[in-house]
Structure 1
Amino acid sequence: MTHRIPFVVTSTRAAAAVALASLAATATGTAHAADPYPNHPIRMIVPFGTGSATDILARILSQKLSDAGIQLVVENRPGAGGSIGTSVLAKAPADGYTLALVSAGHAINATLYPKLPYDTVKDFSAVSLVASIPNVLVVDAASPYKSVKDLLAAASAKPGTINFASAGTGSSTHLSGELLKSLGKVDIVHVPYKGTGEALTDVMAGRVQLMLAPTVSAVPFVEQGRLRALGVTTEKRAAALPNVPTLAEAGVPNYAFDSWFGILAPAGTPRDVIKRLNTEVIKALALPDVKEKLLTLGAEATPSTPEAFDTFIASEVTKLAPVVRQSGASASN
Structure 2
Amino acid sequence: MTFTLSRRSLLTAALAASCMATSAFAADNWPSKPLHLIVGFPAGSSPDLTARALAEPLEKALGQTIIVENKVGAGGNIAGEYVAKADDHTFSVMINGNMTIAKLLNPAVRYNPLTDLQPVSLIGVAPLVLVAPASAPEGKAFFDAAAKAGSKWSYGSPGVGTVGHLGMELLKSRSKLKPEHIPYAGYPQVFNGIQGGDLQLSMLPPALAMAQIQAGKLRGIGVTSAARSPLAPGLPSLKELGVNNYDLEIWNAVAAPKSMAKAHVERLAAAVGEIVRSPEMRARLAAQGWQAVGSSPEGLTNRIDADVKALGTIIKEQNIRAQ
Does the TM-score normalized on the shorter chain lie above 0.5? yes
Structure 1 residue corresponding to 2:202, chosen from 188, 211, 218: 211
1: CA distance, partners of 2:272 / 2:177:
42
How far did residue 303 of structure 1 move?
Answer: 1.9
Structure 2: 5+ residue runs without aligned partners? Answer: 1-28, 60-64
1:199 aligns with 2:187: yes
Counterpart Cα distance in 2 of 1:304 and 1:76? 25
Amino acid aligned to 1:244: L
Residue 136, structure 1, aligned to residue 129, structure 2:
yes
| Cα distance between partner residues in 2 of 1:89 and 1:312 | 20
Contact 2:212/2:218 (8 A) holds in 1: yes
SS in structure 1 at match of 2:84: helix
Of 147, 153, 156, which aligns to 2:138? Answer: 147
Return the alpha-carbon distance in structure 1 between the equivalents of residues 82 and 36 of structure 2. Answer: 17
**Residue 157 of structure 2, aligned match among 162, 165, 168:** 165
Structure 1: runs of 5 or more not aligned: 1-33
Distance 2:97 2:302 in 1: 14
Deviation at 1:251, TM superposition (A): 5.1
* Structure 1 SS opposite 2:221: strand
1:230 alignment partner, one of 221, 228, 237: 221
Alignment partner of 1:42 is 2:37: yes
Structure 2 counterpart of 1:90: 84
In the alignment, the residues of structure 2 paired with residue 132 and residue 138 of structure 1 have an alpha-carbon distance, to the nearest angstrom, of: 19
- Correspondences of 1:1-333 after superposition (within 5 Å): 37=32, 39=34, 42-46=37-41, 55-56=45-46, 58-69=48-59, 71=66, 73=68, 75=70, 77=72, 79=74, 83-91=77-85, 93-103=86-96, 106-139=99-132, 143-147=134-138, 149-150=141-142, 153=145, 156-157=148-149, 159-166=151-158, 168-192=159-183, 198-204=186-192, 206=195, 209=199, 210-250=201-241, 252-271=243-262, 274-294=265-285, 299-310=290-301, 313-314=304-305, 316-318=307-309, 320-322=311-313, 324-325=315-316, 328=318, 330-331=320-321
Residue equivalent to 1:13 = none
In the TM superposition, what is the alpha-carbon distance from 1:247 to its structure 2 partner?
A: 2.0
- Quote how far apart the aligned CAs of 1:298 are: 6.3
Rg: which structure is higher? 1
**Taking every aligned residue pair, what percent have the same amino acid on both sides?**
25
1:152 and 1:113 mapped to 2: Cα distance? 35
Q: Following TM superposition, by how much is the alpha carbon of 1:72 offset from its aligned partner in structure 2, in angstroms? A: 5.2
Distance in structure 1 (CA, Å) of the matches to 2:248 and 2:128: 8
- Change in CA separation of 1:38 and 1:308 when aligned onto 2, cut-off 3 Å: farther
Measured against aligned partners, the alpha-carbon deviations of 1:162-221 in whole angstroms (never above 9, x if no partner) come to: 13214x433332221112223333332334456xxx324531463663331232453344
Aligned pair in 2 of structure 1 residues 231, 72: CA closer, same or farther (>3 Å)? Answer: farther
Partner AA of 1:136 in structure 2: V
Deviation readout 1:132-185 (Å, 9 max, x if unpaired): 321111245xx432435437625743625513214x433332221112223333
Distance 1:74 1:308, change over 3 A: same
CA contact (8 A) 1:62 1:72 kept: no
TM-score, normalised to structure 2, is 0.69
Match for 1:89: what amino acid? Answer: V
Question: By how many angstroms is 1:59 displaced?
Answer: 1.1
- 1:235·1:246 contact (CA, 8 Å) conserved in 2? yes
RMSD over aligned CA atoms reads 3.8
- Taking a change above 3 Å as real, the CA distance of residues 324 and 73 of structure 1, as seen in their structure-2 partners, is same
What letter matches 1:218 in structure 2? A
Distance 2:170 2:30 in 1: 50
Determine helix, strand or coil for the equivalent of 1:321: helix
Tell me how far 1:97 sits from its aligned partner: 3.4
AA in 2 matched with 1:309: L
AA of the residue aligned to 1:107: T
1:248 is displaced (CA, Å) by 3.1
Question: Which amino acid in structure 2 is aligned with residue 124 of structure 1?
Answer: L
Q: Per the alignment, in what secondary structure is the counterpart of residue 242 of structure 1?
A: coil
TM-score, structure 1 normalization:
0.68
